[in-house]
């Protein structure tokens, strides 16, 4: 029996409910594979992060890291909740603009922003450009001169802290492609260059230490490091940082062994760490920004699949194959990510077997779950993989020329397609015939 699904997630028929909608009905109405989001869960997470800042009377921004899942509808929901976004490409920026997102609440990240992307960001008045490297300082300076414009910026530093899952290493991760190095003086040099440019309004510093983090120690560490650098910049260069941005990475539960903290526990620890660290300084009360991605959309997402073929091997685990796989969720194949999957018609049914849940893609590595406990299934049964909302659809591909699934938002018993299922015609619409000379 799956322990994650609680009684309030079932209807009278015992079927899984997503956003108040019967998941069997969703699968029938929209076909599978299907990505479904419980929108109220997205809202609750954003509100949980915001609440702690408000209760502590701290200036803040909860900036949704939209690489986790970017779509017009998603940007609309984030806007409705009054949160910020961060984008990492022209494509994400474009999608947010299409959604009518107020771009002054957007930050633009990336370690190789192109000239065109910077022009787009400046023209659309993106709130903050998070400067990552020296090339970008020059390119942005050129763009600002050409457009006769100004922009707010932050400087991204490499904090020398790496925190992945439950490890927190203080000296690790200096060797990173992101941000300015501290020890070699690059960050100081970047600061001087930015301060010397009257078109750049430097509002603060940024760092991001990793993803799927389960402990507060890494965030306390990065908060301390950012305050230390801000203090050094004030003393040495007279620069007063207004914003400390500690990035994202708050862990979520995928499987039983994952024991994430609640949003409020992370935020509380970050606020306390920064308040304490600024006390002996003259930094005053900098605003605190965070950039949660996974923790906002991950738990709200479900991938629905229909069971197809089965292969039983004497003495080995059986393969149960579904109609999706690595094209709609690359994470298990890419980095052995683990998930739990339930039978939608009876999520609390006792388990009767352990199977390998396989995808339909032509790769032996296309296994969605290496060891999935399930009741006995038959072709046509609908399965729901849980907590798939982050870095699933956003990393989807057309491998094997499979169309990407539809994405549905479900809330208060209503459902709506927010990204249509791709058709075969969509797959060839960019193809051009080759004219042999
Ligand atoms: C700069 C930055 N901020 C925020 C995030 C979001 O991380 P998560 O989805 O783990 O919260 C990432 C993820 O890679 C990132 O690179």
Say what percent of the chain tops pLDDT 90. Answer: 92
Note the pLDDT tens digit of each residue in 319-332. 999 999 999 999 99
The predicted pLDDT at position 172 comes to 42
Q: Compute the half-sphere exposure of residue 329: CA atoms within 13 Å on the CB side of its CA.
A: 32
Give the C-alpha separation, 315 to 312, whole Å: 9
Query: 210: CA distance to ligand 1 center in Å?
Result: 7
Q: Is the pTM of this model over 0.85?
A: yes
Q: Do 39-293 and 7-31+300-428 fall under one CATH topology? A: no
Exposure pattern of 108-138 as b/e (b: 16+ CB <10 Å)? bbbeebeeebbbbbbebebbbbbbbbeebbe
* Any atom of ligand 1 within 6 Å of the Cβ of 110: no
Q: Does residue 397 surpass a pLDDT of 90?
A: yes
* Any atom of ligand 1 within 6 Å of the Cβ of 87: no
Q: How far is CA 176 from CA 65, 132, 207, 215, 394, in A?
A: 19, 11, 12, 21, 23
Mean pLDDT of 114-134: 98
Note the pLDDT tens digit of each residue in 69-102. 999 999 999 999 999 999 999 999 999 999 999 9
293 is in an annotated binding site: yes
Q: Does residue 229 surpass a pLDDT of 50?
A: yes
Decide: 205 and 234 in contact? Cβ < 8 Å.
Answer: no
Q: Does residue 1 surpass a pLDDT of 80?
A: no
Q: Which atom, in ligand 1's list, is nearest to the CA of 249?
A: 10
Residue 106: Cβ within 10 Å count: 26
- Residue of 46, 219, 249, 335 to mutate, ligand 1, most atoms within 8 A of C-beta: 249
Q: Which atom, in ligand 1's list, is nearest to the CA of 295?
A: 11
* Any atom of ligand 1 within 6 Å of the Cβ of 179: no
The predicted pLDDT at position 164 comes to 62
Note the pLDDT tens digit of each residue in 268-315. 999 999 999 999 999 999 999 999 999 999 999 999 999 999 999 998
The predicted pLDDT at position 27 comes to 98
Q: What is the distance between the terminal CA atoms of the chain, rounded to a whole angstrom? A: 63
* Any atom of ligand 1 within 6 Å of the Cβ of 292: yes
Q: How far is CA 383 from CA 216, 340, 357, 388, in A?
A: 34, 10, 10, 13
Mean pLDDT of 94-115: 98
Note the pLDDT tens digit of each residue in 155-214. 999 998 877 655 555 544 677 788 999 999 999 999 999 999 999 999 999 999 989 999
Give the C-alpha separation, 378 to 373, whole Å: 15
The predicted pLDDT at position 150 comes to 98
Note the pLDDT tens digit of each residue in 331-361. 999 989 999 999 999 999 999 999 999 999 9
Query: 66: CA distance to ligand 1 center in Å?
Result: 9
Mean pLDDT of 218-244: 97
Q: Does residue 112 surpass a pLDDT of 80?
A: yes
Q: Return the CATH architecture of domain 39-293.
A: Alpha-Beta Barrel (3.20)
Domain 7-31+300-428 has CATH 3.40.50.11540: no
List, by residue number, the catalytic residues: 362
Query: 134: CA distance to ligand 1 center in Å?
Result: 22
Q: Strand 106-108 vs strand 128-131: parallel, antiparallel, or unpaired?
A: parallel
Decide: 243 and 220 in contact? Cβ < 8 Å.
Answer: no
The predicted pLDDT at position 401 comes to 98
* Any atom of ligand 1 within 6 Å of the Cβ of 325: no
The predicted pLDDT at position 165 comes to 56
The predicted pLDDT at position 169 comes to 55
* Any atom of ligand 1 within 6 Å of the Cβ of 154: no
What ranges do the domains of the chain cover? 7-31+300-428, 39-293
Note the pLDDT tens digit of each residue in 233-271. 999 999 999 999 999 999 999 999 999 999 999 999 999
Q: Residue 100 has which token pair?
A: 């009518």
Mean pLDDT of 40-49: 98
84 is in an annotated binding site: no
């Amino acid at each position: 029996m799956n322990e994650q699904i609680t009684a309030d997630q079932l209807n009278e028929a015992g079927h899984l409910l997503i956003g108040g909608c019967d998941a069997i009905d969703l699968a029938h109405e929209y076909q599978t594979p299907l990505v479904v989001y419980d929108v109220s869960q997205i809202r609750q997470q954003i509100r949980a992060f915001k609440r702690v800042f408000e209760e502590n009377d701290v200036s803040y921004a909860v900036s949704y890291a939209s690489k986790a899942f970017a779509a017009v509808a998603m940007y609309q929901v984030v806007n409705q909740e009054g949160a910020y976004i961060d984008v990492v490409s022209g494509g994400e920026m474009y999608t947010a603009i299409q959604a009518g997102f107020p771009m002054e609440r957007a930050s633009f990240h990336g370690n190789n922003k192109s000239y065109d992307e910077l022009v787009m960001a400046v023209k659309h008045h993106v709130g903050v450009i998070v400067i990552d490297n020296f090339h970008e300082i020059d390119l942005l300076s050129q763009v600002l001169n050409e457009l006769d414009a100004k922009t707010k910026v932050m400087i991204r530093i490499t904090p020398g802290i790496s925190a992945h899952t439950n490890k927190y290493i203080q000296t690790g991760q200096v060797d990173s492609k992101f941000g300015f190095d501290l020890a070699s003086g690059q960050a100081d040099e970047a600061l001087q260059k930015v301060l010397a440019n009257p078109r750049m309004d430097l509002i603060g510093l940024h760092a991001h230490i990793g993803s799927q983090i389960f402990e507060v120690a890494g965030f306390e560490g990065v908060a301390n490091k950012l305050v230390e650098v801000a203090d050094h910049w004030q003393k040495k260069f007279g620069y007063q940082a207004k914003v400390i941005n500690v990035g994202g990475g708050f862990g979520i539960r995928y499987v039983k062994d994952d024991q994430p903290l609640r949003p409020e526990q992370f935020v509380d620890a970050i606020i306390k760490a920064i308040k304490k660290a600024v006390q002996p300084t003259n930094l005053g009360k900098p605003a605190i920004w965070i950039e949660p991605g996974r923790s906002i959309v991950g738990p709200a997402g479900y991938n629905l699949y229909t069971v197809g073929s089965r292969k039983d091997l004497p003495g080995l685990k059986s393969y149960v194959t579904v109609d999706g796989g690595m094209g709609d969720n690359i994470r298990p194949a890419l980095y052995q990510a683990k998930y739990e999957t339930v039978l939608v018609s009876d999520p609390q049914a006792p388990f009767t077997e352990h199977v390998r849940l396989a995808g339909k893609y032509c790769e032996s590595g296309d296994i969605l779950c290496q060891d999935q406990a399930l009741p006995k299934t038959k072709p046509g049964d609908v399965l729901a993989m849980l907590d798939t909302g982050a870095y699933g659809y956003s990393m989807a591909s057309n491998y094997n020329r499979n169309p990407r699934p539809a994405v549905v938002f479900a809330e208060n018993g209503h459902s709506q397609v927010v990204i249509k299922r791709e058709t075969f015609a969509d797959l060839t619409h960019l193809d051009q015939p080759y004219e042999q000379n």
